[in-house]
Amino acid sequence: MSTTNGRRILLAGCGDLGTRLGLRLVAQGHEVIGLRRRVAELPDAFETIAMDLTRNGAPAASRADHSARSDSRLADLDAVIVTLTPDESTRAGYERSYLCGVRGLARVLESQPGRVVLVSSTRVLAEDPTRVITEDAPIAPGPGPGEVLAAAESEAAELFDHLTIVRPAGIYGPGRTRLIDSVRRGQQFNHQRWTNRVHRDDLVHGLERLALDSKPPDLVHAVDSLPAQMGEVAAFIADRLGVPVPGHVEDEKPGGKRIDGTRFGSLVGELKFPTYRDGFASMLMDRS
């Protein structure tokens, strides 16, 4: 581990979230190592390791010539932030990215890090719009990706001595405009469905705190302070766009989740975008 104020932090996956987190950490004097399949697009300020964790985590018969290789930079790490992305939104895609990715990471690390932060998802939680869900709620994933994410969380807890799990919901922000685009097209929604979300910048800030805090929580639901029904969110966006409110999908019943963001808010200190209104208003102002 580092002996000065600067820490050694590995960003495993290192896509948009990891890169933005790494730039914040470098600006504070920390040593950042970005690990991903292709490293050409990573900032020059990062050390880089080109590696496919999913191949290193695959069953031995499938790994063939892709066995884990020694790299001294993968020892004595203060923190590892794991931000994996499935190559396809199927169960198999999630298994390759998350299960094989977590196993591959454990295989290539030269020593136990001071902290491993695994970015999972609120998909592992049961749908129940009748109550507010906190970090104390048991997981109850539906079949498919949710089950895989729950399994990845469980395996990570066995593989790493000091683990924090972060479960974001509905990440949005610059470059993540799917909901805005759907409203603009007039796509219908289940107006009664409860939803949760977090702005990308607030999530990055939360990951920064987890990387640097000496005693971070073991589990955080990364959501803002205002769960809302989809009809309300769509109406807000439509008003800002100056388009009709998308219609309600007939025969749909209330569903979704209402997730409490108190712990995440305490971790970050003050959310830059405490509700969807703040976040989408900022995005739509930037697009005008």
Q: How would residue 3 be classed by pLDDT, with cut points 50, 70 and 90?
A: very low
Q: Domain limits at 62?
A: 8-172+198-225+258-274
Domain count, the chain: 1
Q: What percent of the chain has pLDDT over 90?
A: 85
Q: Please determine, for residue 68, whether its predicted confidence score (pLDDT) is greater than 70.
A: no
| Span 25-48, average pLDDT | 96
pLDDT tens, residue by residue, 263-285 = 999 999 999 999 999 999 999 98
What is the model's pTM?
0.93
The answer as to whether 73 is a domain residue is yes
pLDDT tens, residue by residue, 220-232 = 999 999 999 999 9
Q: Please determine, for residue 5, whether its predicted confidence score (pLDDT) is greater than 80.
A: no
pLDDT tens, residue by residue, 103-157 = 999 999 999 999 999 999 999 999 999 999 999 999 999 889 999 999 999 999 9
The answer as to whether 263 is a domain residue is yes
The answer as to whether 233 is a domain residue is no
Q: How would residue 287 be classed by pLDDT, with cut points 50, 70 and 90?
A: low
Q: How deeply is 29 buried, as exposed, middle or buried, from its count of CB atoms within 10 A (0-12, 13-18, 19+)?
A: exposed
The answer as to whether 189 is a domain residue is no
The answer as to whether 244 is a domain residue is no
The answer as to whether 241 is a domain residue is no
Burial per residue of 121-159, b for 16 or more beta-carbon CB atoms within 10 angstroms, e otherwise: bbbbbeeebeeebebebebebeeebbbbbbbbbebbeeb
pLDDT tens, residue by residue, 205-263 = 999 999 999 899 999 999 999 999 999 999 999 999 999 999 999 877 889 999 999 99
Q: Which residue has the higher pLDDT, 175 or 66?
A: 175
CATH of the domain at 100: 3.40.50.720
Helix/strand/coil for 49: strand
The answer as to whether 236 is a domain residue is no
The answer as to whether 74 is a domain residue is yes
Q: Please determine, for residue 1, whether its predicted confidence score (pLDDT) is greater than 90.
A: no
